[in-house]
Amino acid sequence: DAKTTQPPSMDCAEGRAANLPCNHSTISGNEYVYWYRQIHSQGPQYIIHGLKNNETNEMASLIITEDRKSSTLILPHATLRDTAVYYCIVRGDPDYGNNRLAFGKGNQVVVIP
């Protein structure tokens, strides 16, 4: 029960910004939005997380709508090494209870030269 909906796949052009959408219409007030990615044959890698404010780090930006029912992960300048399956995950407050991650099928992003 991943609680999120993502497109199964998308292509994006190398050097351009990649905007990865995620719907989480049933998110509750204390649930966070996390993004991980998994490059082929590797373990998942944390990208970013947020509650309601937009967040930015060295890898990406996370834009969360005001009603929190959807979010967008932005890779500002996609490179070929960004080709991966991207997972949008909703989970409870990390300080309470099990922090298990409920991975869905994710979005297979292919960066095209």
Partner 1 sequence: GAGVSQSPSNKVTEKGKDVELRCDPISGHTALYWYRQSLGQGLEFLIYFQGNSAPDKSGLPSDRFSAERTGGSVSTLTIQRTQQEDSAVYLCASSAQGRLAGNEQFFGPGTRLTVL
101 touches partner 1 by CB under 8 A: yes
Distances in Å between the Cα of 33 and the Cα atoms of 46, 65, 68, 111 are 12, 11, 9, 24
Among candidate residues 46, 53, 109, 100, the one with its CA nearest the CA of residue 81: 109
Are 20 and 12 in contact by the 8 Å Cβ rule? The answer is no
Q: Which member of 24, 68, 87, 88 binds partner 1 (CB under 8 A)?
A: 87
98 touches partner 1 by CB under 8 A: yes
* Choices 8-16, 18-26, 69-77, 97-105; region in contact with partner 1 by CB under 8 A: 97-105
- Write out the binding residues for partner 1, residues 9-68 only, by CB under 8 A: 36, 42-46, 49
Nearest CB to partner 1, comparing residues 5 and 103: 103
Contact partners, residue 1, CB within 8 Å, separation at least 6 = 102
Contact positions vs partner 1 (CB under 8 A): 2, 36, 42-46, 49, 87, 94-95, 98-106
